[in-house]
Structure 1
């Protein structure tokens, strides 16, 4: 009987999906040749993100393979041969490189697999395939093999999917030379758009001896601006340079964009209102230049071109609906009015997502070519000036220069704790463990290269706080290879996580954000809360190479970190709850409640009028009238130390005073004793009252237990559990029996495989099998085996003849035709043998499933 453990996150670290295999770290043994990776002298350490989550599916990159596991629950994980559970392996012939990053697209259908110089996009199977073990052959789409190849010099810094890409197919790639390229999965061989955030290096600056900082020529990260308030912010792109400079450029959109309708409506109103305000302020030519009328005019023209595209699309759909008979209709909100526009499904293109409109950048056509008319190039803005300049502190050697490795741009939305429109927080991670956190005060706006738009000063980025993460002290090489990366919290915008070689930390900026939005706050802001969640055992040989965080009803709220050795750590995070003081009543309400209880029940005096024992003891030790009989006797009777032979009236008077003090003292003690006894009586009465209430509660609980409703509720709970288990079984059987429909692309792929199999193995008839390549190959092998003995015999005879008549030899003119014929024949045989081996491999790869 196999052992089963619960399928839960605490037991996830023991799953076999984290066990590295020989096939995941090396190439196949059948390969005769292997491309050796060239030595890299990167200025910035390699960043890793080898673990992601798609809904309830866990995807992990181990070496050169991608593994998939479903965390949806079930009966549990079976333990066989010391391994816990099973997983799916996503196979593809294009995965020939070591995987550094895996990034799923917004709809979870595609997975970008990124190496040091190569990118491949996998078409992920459905979630139902992740429950059964084995291998799944996935369709792979290499991205720009001419630009990104093992021999390429372009280092991939970061890859991200644009949230507004049509169908989630817009992939953006930043290389270290500062070029940001957009690729569409339907056209993966060439970049659709290219934006350069660094000036091209000249031949003079590329010499060995130069004063240019090499870190200033290395782009490490980029980020799309979050969708915040109305304006141009979501159209801007931020790029981080290794020396800490931040450049912005915009407006930048994917070639095939699905923009939210509400945002485009707000952007149109915003640009028109801003243009009207600037035109009112600019009274002459000089005033127009200082007010920025040229810049605002270009922005308004750009927005109007987007609106024009939407109008033309709606008019085209209207004409198509009039020409083609009506089909099942759907309604969508129009851009220019609140009414609903009706359109049909007659167009060949799929309809955009609900609440969005399909547009493209104005300087390009819908197919990606240059649009007619003049178009100005975008202006690169920056670098941003930090105010105040962050301190150059970090872990490791003080003389070693740090490198900025990752950038985070997050919009903290208003809540009960924050007021206003929200804040855009920008965070920069450095290799030495420093994290600079700032606020974007001046939002960037689109700029174009034009004389009508005068240049302005560099944007200012206020740095609110610089956090230094605690790193262990290792050799400088270990610190140089460290490349921290950011990860947002799925629930709270004011919390983000930092993954680095030595562990995982979280930074909570809620405290100073709350004070910043409070008008009454004065003085310095509070520091952020930094918490170390995962420690890599204090060893640099086990760096953290992957991290995911989640928050759903099945998995809860937590994070999982992955080390390079395959070890996993699960951390359960705490949800925020309201302040406990808010749950308690106020002082006035507590007093009213106390008085009300005092009137109803006299026994509650034990709580209403507490006894202060310290004050009682103090009154006894320190009475209002001083008590010291000896001092009084010595003061009032001078000869008190001498023996008394005669009692005088003074002696009697002093003794009377001392006797009065003793009586007062004893009376105070008796009064205190009486107070204590009264308090003891109250405590006994309170104890009796509580015992009485406890008995009443016990009787009520017994009556409730005898009630038939409780029994019925328990029966309903048991029945619900049985129904839930039956439903899980039905769902499991349905998922096992469910097979997704095959699309046109998959059908063409399988038809091609079938034609290849028939060509290699032949058809069902005798004639078909005779024409098969395998049959022809076998015949050639038989003929070759039959010719080999004859050739060997002829060679032996030739040797004997040469030994008998050594003087009889052929001349060079006679040997040249024979050598040429033999070389042609041997080359033909070599090609046939190589073709036979390739056909055998392809038959084993594609035809093995059909034979089974």
Structure 2
């Protein structure tokens, strides 16, 4: 396929995006029901347990990618096709396969692919099911329908009329064999199902909303007891991966930690890192003596027990820092208390309210973590390597960006005297512009306000699989792209400045920090008809060999694609050069001396600036997305007559002004680029002229000048040799004139040295009177006598010990007799020591202190 062709042209007419049978069958449903308007608003907002409508949660995600295979849910059908065939143009007729799943008898609102890519979880308004996907190569099968095994999950909890609506489904990344499915219902119950063990009963149940006590009254808003979404925490050496966050419709954030699947496959390196993290915490708290430190010490004791139970499950030989590998781990049961629900989080400072909005329910949340290891090592972003960002979306188009500065730690539901609420630092509040866009649409007095359409809006997040700082928000009126890399860069600069200035300029740096880049890429709102086609699916392939684009699907089953751009990583500084050995230091210094430019003005000044040329923002598209959002309307509106209304005129005027401003920016950018090209051409001409001059000079140096220089160097070398010989002769003559013979003192000094050498080394080789021979004789005598003396010393020591033991019970006469015998032995030892000392004095050998004197 030609890379210039857009995927929208390839997939626009694909039959996989045809409407479900309910819109094309014998009694077709009106396609108007797919639109969000004032007439269809009740079907999007009113809850009907007997119908699988979009009302219960409003979350829609009916399109996912499995490598090069596209999976789309249309009504109650699951369709699959291969994008690789479309890219390589292997088939002229576009086809797809329908997965035959008789157990699924509900409208599919959400689909989620497990980490292994073999299971597909589907959810409607109230029911959940899991489908076993066909093996690769399904596209070569002849039948259009493929039988697939499917099973419903938790029918007792999710298939009854009294069941709570499904808020979100997600596979746990650490589930054993990728079979752990998490199902969150709006009543705050998170149920964990292990598909390989039991599909009916959950392995674990987490409650984010406590049960109401009997005969009690709680004055709380209903939105405070309805969960909108949940997400998993992230981290490397902390409790982040074992933390799960949930947000209620009122915007309250709760967390439960620790949480892991009943059958988890956890990297061994993470368990060792968590152990080091807790050990460091305990060592730090051991230095404090306050009451708060004691309370935290008790908490860390619980955490130590938890991690110790994890370490006991590691197989023998799994030591740190060995290569990490996934290990089957089960949640420890050493701590009987369940994990505590932490929250609600304090949002500091309080998020602002959008102008013209009465507020709205929270709809989704996402946790972003930034790790330098993902970028290939340590880089400039080391200051934010452990920073977590929590993003919360609301119905009115508000997105709160919060920094997870105080990481959640494991806590258990035990009696505690004081438990502070966790905190999230609100960095900024993003306005997607939905309120202002709907406010510009005029409505008559009989018609409802266009702002009422926000009641059916359900923004949801989708993280870019390649760039962690890019996230997309899709909602009922289009798609927005958010890039938080400016936030991370600003925080990194602020922290670096704070370290260098001692904490004096952190506040000022944060006041000047940049915000998240917001770019609308698609709008589905029809100003003329005052309706919209909500976005029901967004997918981004993680296979760059296929394509790096974003696929967007609307409720009218219209597919739109935008190519994305891969970012180029900045060049890293070269590694530090190892210094050569000391013997080559002179050559290195001489070489660097000649390569050092001389002082003064440079010999050549370039017309270009030192910094590289950066194109203007109008001509650069780092993300590859369009500057203005594309308008996507259903196919049915193309044949209708266009009506000119004040709203359409206003929309056309606004779009025209934006296009005119963009054209002006492009013209200025083109003019700047032309000037740069002319400057580079002039610089190229100057450099070519300079190169010709240098080439002429080099040719002259290689020709006659080189021969003359070589002859001159030879003459200089000959003259140098002659001068050195003359200098040697002159120096010798001066020395002979100054002192022709040795003086009397010098003669005596040399004779004394000769005599001392004879005394030390001897006149001949076998001179026994030399100091060397006498020293060797003394060493042999010393070696012969020392064992006997040591043995005698040991005997004397043992005798003294026995004497001390015996004298404790001896009488006066016996002690006197032993004392006389001891005096005699001491006299004998003194005589032997005196003999050895005399012998050493005769042989001029220095001995240490005798044993009796020590």
- Give the alignment's TM-score, normalised by structure 2: 0.58
Q: Which residue of 2 aligns with 1:310?
A: 314
Once residues 183 and 592 of structure 1 are traced to their aligned partners in structure 2, the CA distance between those partners, rounded to angstroms, is 75
Change (3 A) 1:458 1:136: same
Once residues 293 and 516 of structure 2 are traced to their aligned partners in structure 1, the CA distance between those partners, rounded to angstroms, is 44
Return the offset for 1:288.
5.4
Describe how 1:91-490 pairs up with structure 2 within 5 A: 91-132=100-141, 134-149=144-159, 151-186=161-196, 187-202=198-213, 211-226=219-234, 228-282=235-289, 286=291, 289-290=294-295, 292-311=296-315, 314=316, 334-336=317-319, 355-363=325-333, 375-393=336-354, 398-399=357-358, 401-414=359-372, 416-420=379-383, 421-451=385-415, 453-471=416-434, 472-473=437-438, 475-490=450-465
Change (3 A) 1:156 1:512: same
Once residues 134 and 274 of structure 2 are traced to their aligned partners in structure 1, the CA distance between those partners, rounded to angstroms, is 38
SS in 2 for 1:531: strand
Return the offset for 1:205.
6.8
Q: Which residue of 2 aligns with 1:564?
A: 555
Greater shift after overlay, 527-536 or 473-482? 473-482
**Deviation sequence 1:621-652 (CA, Å, 0-9, x none):** xxxxxxxxxxxxxxxxxxxxxxxxxxxxxxxx
Once residues 522 and 599 of structure 2 are traced to their aligned partners in structure 1, the CA distance between those partners, rounded to angstroms, is 50
Return the offset for 1:527.
2.0
Return the offset for 1:97.
0.4
* Aligned 8 A contact 2:360 2:394 in 1: yes
Change (3 A) 1:687 1:147: closer
Once residues 78 and 288 of structure 1 are traced to their aligned partners in structure 2, the CA distance between those partners, rounded to angstroms, is 69
* Aligned 8 A contact 1:92 1:138 in 2: yes
Greater shift after overlay, 196-205 or 153-162? 196-205
Return the offset for 1:38.
2.6
SS in 1 for 2:210: coil
Describe how 1:685-696 pairs up with structure 2 within 5 A: none
Change (3 A) 1:214 1:153: same
Return the offset for 1:139.
0.2
Return the offset for 1:491.
1.7
Once residues 524 and 563 of structure 2 are traced to their aligned partners in structure 1, the CA distance between those partners, rounded to angstroms, is 17
Return the offset for 1:479.
0.9
**Deviation sequence 1:690-722 (CA, Å, 0-9, x none):** 9x99xxxxxxxxxxxxxxxxxxxxxxxxxxxxx
* Aligned 8 A contact 1:26 1:64 in 2: no
SS in 2 for 1:146: helix
* Aligned 8 A contact 2:463 2:472 in 1: yes
1:506 aligns with 2:481: yes
The CA RMSD over aligned residues, in Å, is 3.8
Change (3 A) 1:122 1:205: farther
* Aligned 8 A contact 2:6 2:562 in 1: no
Q: Which residue of 2 aligns with 1:11?
A: 10
* Aligned 8 A contact 1:57 1:69 in 2: yes
SS in 2 for 1:130: helix
**Deviation sequence 1:728-777 (CA, Å, 0-9, x none):** xxxxxxxxxxxxxxxxxxxxxxxxxxxxxxxxxxxxxxxxxxxxxxxxxx
Change (3 A) 1:590 1:559: farther
Once residues 51 and 102 of structure 2 are traced to their aligned partners in structure 1, the CA distance between those partners, rounded to angstroms, is 24
* Aligned 8 A contact 1:27 1:96 in 2: no
Greater shift after overlay, 210-219 or 525-534? 210-219
SS in 2 for 1:164: coil
SS in 2 for 1:248: strand
Change (3 A) 1:455 1:124: farther
* Aligned 8 A contact 1:13 1:570 in 2: no
* Aligned 8 A contact 2:238 2:277 in 1: yes
* Aligned 8 A contact 2:81 2:97 in 1: yes
Return the offset for 1:287.
6.5
1:545 aligns with 2:536: yes
Return the offset for 1:448.
1.0
Return the offset for 1:303.
0.8
| Larger-Rg structure | 2
Once residues 509 and 250 of structure 1 are traced to their aligned partners in structure 2, the CA distance between those partners, rounded to angstroms, is 27
SS in 2 for 1:514: helix
* Aligned 8 A contact 1:9 1:555 in 2: no
Change (3 A) 1:28 1:554: farther
**Deviation sequence 1:258-309 (CA, Å, 0-9, x none):** 11010011112222333344345348xx47534x111101000011111122
Return the offset for 1:77.
6.3
Change (3 A) 1:412 1:512: same
Once residues 53 and 6 of structure 2 are traced to their aligned partners in structure 1, the CA distance between those partners, rounded to angstroms, is 44
SS in 2 for 1:268: helix
Change (3 A) 1:590 1:144: farther
Change (3 A) 1:244 1:275: same
Gaps of 5+ in 1: 30-35, 315-333, 341-353, 364-372, 583-588, 599-603, 609-682, 694-852
Once residues 491 and 455 of structure 1 are traced to their aligned partners in structure 2, the CA distance between those partners, rounded to angstroms, is 43
Once residues 293 and 569 of structure 2 are traced to their aligned partners in structure 1, the CA distance between those partners, rounded to angstroms, is 52
Q: Which residue of 2 aligns with 1:88?
A: 97
Once residues 201 and 296 of structure 1 are traced to their aligned partners in structure 2, the CA distance between those partners, rounded to angstroms, is 31
Return the offset for 1:212.
2.0
Greater shift after overlay, 6-15 or 295-304? 6-15
Change (3 A) 1:27 1:271: farther
Change (3 A) 1:43 1:339: closer
- Give the alignment's TM-score, normalised by structure 1: 0.58
Change (3 A) 1:218 1:595: same
1:524 aligns with 2:504: no
Change (3 A) 1:554 1:456: same
Once residues 393 and 185 of structure 1 are traced to their aligned partners in structure 2, the CA distance between those partners, rounded to angstroms, is 43
Once residues 287 and 532 of structure 1 are traced to their aligned partners in structure 2, the CA distance between those partners, rounded to angstroms, is 48
Q: Which residue of 1 aligns with 2:505?
A: none
Return the offset for 1:578.
5.9
Return the offset for 1:423.
1.1
Once residues 486 and 469 of structure 2 are traced to their aligned partners in structure 1, the CA distance between those partners, rounded to angstroms, is 9
Greater shift after overlay, 146-155 or 300-309? 146-155
Return the offset for 1:509.
1.3
Change (3 A) 1:686 1:126: closer
Return the offset for 1:540.
3.6
Once residues 685 and 174 of structure 2 are traced to their aligned partners in structure 1, the CA distance between those partners, rounded to angstroms, is 69
* Aligned 8 A contact 2:459 2:474 in 1: yes
Describe how 1:675-714 pairs up with structure 2 within 5 A: none
SS in 2 for 1:513: helix
Change (3 A) 1:26 1:100: farther
SS in 2 for 1:576: coil
